[in-house]
Amino acid sequence: MTQDRRLGSTDYQQVLHRDIISQGVQFINHFTTTAQCCPSRASLLRGQAAHNINITNVHAPGRISSSSSPSHQIANNAKKTRGNYDKWHQSGLDQDYLPHWLKKAGYRAEYVGKFLNGYNVINANITPKGWDHVDALLDPYTTYYNTPVMSQNGERPVYYQGWHSTDVVRTKALARLEYLLSQNQPYYLQIAPYSPHVQNDVNQPIPLARHLDLFSDAKAPRLPNYNPPDSLQAQKGGWVRSIPLMNQSSQDWADSSYRARAQSLQGLDDVIEDVVAMLTAAGTLNNTYIIYTSDNGYHVGNHRLPGGKALFFGEDTNLPFAVRDPGVPKNKTSKIPGVHLDLVPTFLDIAGLPETE
């Protein structure tokens, strides 16, 4: 489970294409119903739309979004936003969701990486329920790539000063996978790096140092909806039609952001490569479902917006979704529509849990 990925953003991921997409099926009409991280993740874990569980924002109840970005105007219009890990826990939603259900089917369920917004250094002892093992990134450090802080099963937070978040999550996930492969039990392991989400203080992702020299000429795709002329912008709805043209500075920033995102994706490829290598060495690759997706999409220069998410456009809602499974054809593209809400019932069907359960 990655972050802020639009369909088409996988073009820079050679390993993803080699090890998952070319070995399975890519679904090009897969969507999130809420183009924001916390609501989308909660929806995926519960198999319910955000408005049905009332996790509709990234902030705790009563806190108003401080962002002035046009991408968050919808959130700013509300007097009270509703979301966050505190809401998830206090509402009792963590008593009945995916890991609990998988355990009924005899699976061991583990989680490594970003869980939900608002799981932080203060409430880390309130461990996400249901998981046999959880090692989660903690706010407010989640958004800072080179100062990640994590808590394992609610224990004292551990600070990894100077380590890149993606490598920390990768190392921890591989250690858990090694353990799971040693057990005589089916398992579900969700690996959730923070990349390529922006780092808040610079509003761009911070790639691993070993990838900084890549894609120096990459620019945001000049699609028809990239910084469109007035004749096209006027056809858009609501406040979007009044957004002014991006000036050269904004376009340069969009290109810089796009390059940083492409570089950051290489760290995700490292995760994929190591996971596939470990499964291959264990002889279980052909008995394992590998699913790759994102919580929401992201726009870069589209609709005159240099960068962001949370909108109703395809860049923000149409996500990469690929499945490697020994039972499906290789290197296939499917136009069958799907949403994240479909994943829980699909996982439980794979696990063999009866519908009555």
Element housing 291 (H / E): strand 290-292
pLDDT tens digits, 327-345 = 888 999 999 999 999 999 9
Residues in Cβ contact with 223 at an 8 Å cutoff, skipping those fewer than 6 apart: 302
Length of the chain: 357
pLDDT tens digits, 198-244 = 999 999 999 999 999 999 999 999 999 999 999 999 999 889 999 99
* Helix (H/G/I), strand (E/B), else coil: 115: coil
Model confidence, pTM: 0.93
| 108-113/30-31 β-pairing | unpaired
Q: Does residue 59 sit within a domain?
A: yes
pLDDT above 90 for 79: no
- pLDDT at position 356 is 76
- pLDDT at position 72 is 44
Cα 217 from Cα 274, distance rounded (Å): 28
Q: Does residue 98 sit within a domain?
A: yes
Which alpha helices (DSSP H) does the chain contain, by range?
A: 14-19, 37-46, 50-53, 73-76, 84-90, 98-104, 165-181, 230-233, 248-282, 314-317, 343-351
- pLDDT at position 243 is 97
**Rounded-to-10 torsion of CA 250, 58, 137, 161:** 40
At 187, which CATH number?
3.40.720.10
Provide the pLDDT confidence category of residue 61 given band limits of 50, 70 and 90: low
Q: Does residue 175 sit within a domain?
A: yes
Mean pLDDT (the chain, rounded) = 92
pLDDT above 50 for 150: yes
- Nearest to residue 345, comparing CAs of 36, 130, 107, 101? 101
Proportion of the chain above pLDDT 90, given as a percent: 86
Q: Which of 25, 37, 45, 323 is catalytic?
A: 37
Q: Does residue 199 sit within a domain?
A: yes
Q: Does residue 356 sit within a domain?
A: no
Proportion of the chain above pLDDT 70, given as a percent: 94
The half-sphere exposure of 65 on its side-chain side, counting CA atoms within 13 A, is: 21
Can you tell me which residue has the tokens 């799971």? Answer: 180
Q: Is 38 a catalytic residue?
A: no
Cα 336 from Cα 321, distance rounded (Å): 12
- pLDDT at position 236 is 92
Q: Does residue 3 sit within a domain?
A: no
Residues in Cβ contact with 336 at an 8 Å cutoff, skipping those fewer than 6 apart: 27, 29
Provide the pLDDT confidence category of residue 183 given band limits of 50, 70 and 90: very high
Which residue would you say has higher pLDDT here, 258 or 312?
258
Residues in Cβ contact with 242 at an 8 Å cutoff, skipping those fewer than 6 apart: none
Cα 37 from Cα 22, distance rounded (Å): 27
- pLDDT at position 241 is 93
pLDDT above 70 for 63: no
Mean pLDDT (whole number) for 127-155 = 98
Vertex 201, ends 70 and 297: CA angle to 5°? Answer: 50
Structural domains of the chain, count? 1
Mean pLDDT (whole number) for 239-258 = 97
pLDDT tens digits, 3-38 = 877 777 799 999 999 999 999 999 999 999 999 999
Residue 313's domain comprises 9-351
* Helix (H/G/I), strand (E/B), else coil: 2: strand
Q: Does residue 135 sit within a domain?
A: yes
Q: Does residue 88 sit within a domain?
A: yes
